[in-house]
Structure 1
Amino acid sequence: MITRDHAAFLAFARGVPADFGPATARAAFLVAPDGFRLAEQSAADNRYMGQTIAFDAARASSQHRELQRALAQVLPTLCFAGDPATPDAVFPNNVFATAAGRYLIGRMRHPVRQREADRADIRGFFGGVLDYAEIDLSTQEHPCELTGALVIDRARGLGFAGLSERCDEVGAKLMHDALGLRATLLFDLAPGEYHTNVVLAVLAGRAALICPGGFADAGVVAAIAELYAPHALQLAPGEHAAFAGNAIALSDEAVWMSARAAQSLTAASQAALAAAGFAVRAVELDAIEVGGGSLRCCVGEIF
């Protein structure tokens, strides 16, 4: 099923068992922020990006290294070298994604990001070292920025595709088919939002962080909240602005987000995460966040 009908999606998804696959990744990969700077093309439709003066490449590199060290305590975490010609490559989950036995290469909207799809080392790792089958969506014309645009409940095989300039309906269907998902809900993001994973996180298949202001249709918010009740947290505007929705579970017991995001959590949100069985793990990433994304954007998952 792939649909815009959130009521039909909810009716179907309620009956889906959590047997699609592992709820969390078995490893993670990052791309170092080498040459990290403002990418003007990306800034055209990413309101979260800072100004040129806010970019500090040395601080970004140091924080990124700390991120790798922190994640490596939980699961194997690889880091590929960055490239000054691709300043947004620090957010690799938009370009490369995996499922059991295969990897996807996304179609990026902006030419500066399309270059990332040509990286022979990352392709070689997935195709040559892991022997994953390749599904290359980068050469077709429809934008589909992978797990930036598509938030996935890996336990149940459900997708949540927010449509914007970074992902259209055809692109969403291509990702749905490539990942073999059971059902994908299509919806419009609110004006000014560019990626679904900034406004929605599904945590280990049993909880959701939702930023209501990021959705064009409140009915979609209600459907997602109902699906993940009682562990559906609707975040306040301040939490949304601090990237609290850009979080990820890499194990059953912890949710990872930036220090800024963690500091923004209200007492109610902290209590709700604890009730869902998640400890909050945070890493300082302010120098990365000026690039328009936060912790979840930095993490590519290997399933």
Structure 2
Amino acid sequence: MNQTTNTILMVRPNGFRMNEQTAVNNYFQEDLDLKNAEINQRAQQEFDDFVQKLSMVGVNVIVVKDEANVDRPDAVFPNNWVSFHANGNMALYPMFAENRRVERREDILDILEAEGFNIQNVIDYTAAETEELFLEGTGSLILDRTNRKAYCALSPRADEDLLIEFCEDFEFTPIIFTANQTVEGKRMPIYHTNVMMCIAEEFAVICLDTIDDAKEKKHVIKQLKQDGKEIITITENQMHQFAGNMLQVRGREDRKYLVMSKSAHDSLNEHQIKAIEKHCTILSADLETIETCGGGSARCMMAEVFLPKVDS
């Protein structure tokens, strides 16, 4: 089972702005003193430059445009509502913010099928929204696909029962913990696991300082070491520059890249960069507007496609 893929799905924003509904528990979001139209324009430019960088190294990027007539401030982060798996299954996830639920689009299935991918089953968890229970895709779940483990920091956007249900359906072992950040002097749950950790083929980047419970921290370290992962730790400060929000992808000739934002890349020290570059090449893009207003970064913008191809 591959940990990385060459194909990613990305959604080009159309009405990007700071989403007031997600800001209640996403402490990474900040207001920019700009008109929404300018924020959206800047986000589109960042998006286009990012796609170009990925395409230039041979990553197959399927770009879907956000529709003009629906208010979807966070459409640029598709990894929260959908995931695509090697067995032909696709999962749809329950979203915390009501105005993010309209991001789920059936036409994306048609687009992927037109690209030659085979979707056999859609496993839909969205009914949990009626019970105010949420699990926001690969924002909440850090999947070690090779070793069949799902790392998850519980939060208002990551429900334990839903995580266990997902793990039963997709045959993963849940690795459950809590991760906190300091907000105005208080320790508050981090909204998504994927801002504090990333799992690549041979290593993991993780902010261990966010796991306050010593037993949980030990358990996470043990699981990563058991699978032979080199653990590259980042500080809470680096996490706030989105240094945990990374994704390993494959480019031309199966070359591996660790994709991150410029702010994440700039925050890393020489030792951390060397540790990563031992395994793969770093590819970074300037995502300042998207990060500031959206509170998400490079990893959140990419929905990995592991689906099998239709035999031609």
Structure-1-length-normalised TM-score: 0.86
What is the CA–CA distance in structure 2 between the aligned matches of 1:218 and 1:123, rounded to whole Å?
A: 43
Deviation digits for residues 52-107 of structure 1 (CA, Å, limit 9, x no counterpart): 52562111101101111122233211111114511111110000101111111100
What amino acid maps onto 1:138 in structure 2?
Answer: T
1:203–1:230: structure 2 CA closer, same or farther, 3 Å change rule? closer
What is the CA–CA distance in structure 2 between the aligned matches of 1:89 and 1:218, rounded to whole Å?
A: 37
Matched, 1:92 2:82: no
Indicate which of 246, 260, 264 corresponds to 1:261.
264
Q: Quick check: 2:82–2:92 contact (8 Å CA) kept in 1?
A: yes
Residue 149 of structure 1 is matched in structure 2 by 140
What amino acid maps onto 2:196 in structure 1?
Answer: V
Residue 126 of structure 2 is matched in structure 1 by 138
User: For 1:1-303, what aligned pairs fall within 5 Å after superposition?
Assistant: 21-53=1-33, 56-72=39-55, 73-83=57-67, 84-100=70-86, 101-117=88-104, 119-126=105-112, 130-132=117-119, 133-140=121-128, 141=131, 142-181=133-172, 183-190=173-180, 191-204=188-201, 206-226=202-222, 227-228=224-225, 231-251=230-250, 253-275=256-278, 277-290=279-292, 291-303=294-306
Q: CA deviation at 1:25?
A: 1.6
What is the CA–CA distance in structure 2 between the aligned matches of 1:175 and 1:106, rounded to whole Å?
A: 10
Q: Quick check: 1:104–1:178 contact (8 Å CA) kept in 2?
A: no
What is the CA–CA distance in structure 1 between the aligned matches of 2:213 and 2:197, rounded to whole Å?
A: 14
What is the CA–CA distance in structure 2 between the aligned matches of 1:113 and 1:288, rounded to whole Å?
A: 16
Report percent identity of matched pairs.
Answer: 27
Between the two proteins, the alignment pairs up a number of residues equal to: 279
The unaligned stretches of length 5 or more in structure 2 are 181-187, 307-312
Q: CA deviation at 1:202?
A: 0.2
What is the CA–CA distance in structure 1 between the aligned matches of 2:153 and 2:113, rounded to whole Å?
A: 29
Q: CA deviation at 1:230?
A: 6.3
1:123–1:178: structure 2 CA closer, same or farther, 3 Å change rule? farther
The unaligned stretches of length 5 or more in structure 1 are 1-20
Deviation digits for residues 193-234 of structure 1 (CA, Å, limit 9, x no counterpart): 100000010012x20001123324243333333424661011
What is the CA–CA distance in structure 1 between the aligned matches of 2:154 and 2:19, rounded to whole Å?
A: 22
Q: Quick check: 2:287–2:297 contact (8 Å CA) kept in 1?
A: yes
1:24–1:169: structure 2 CA closer, same or farther, 3 Å change rule? same
Residue 309 of structure 2 is matched in structure 1 by none
What is the CA–CA distance in structure 2 between the aligned matches of 1:263 and 1:274, rounded to whole Å?
A: 15
Q: CA deviation at 1:126?
A: 4.7
SS of the equivalent of 1:53 reads coil
SS of the equivalent of 2:123 reads strand
What is the CA–CA distance in structure 1 between the aligned matches of 2:14 and 2:99, rounded to whole Å?
A: 15
What amino acid maps onto 1:29 in structure 2?
Answer: L
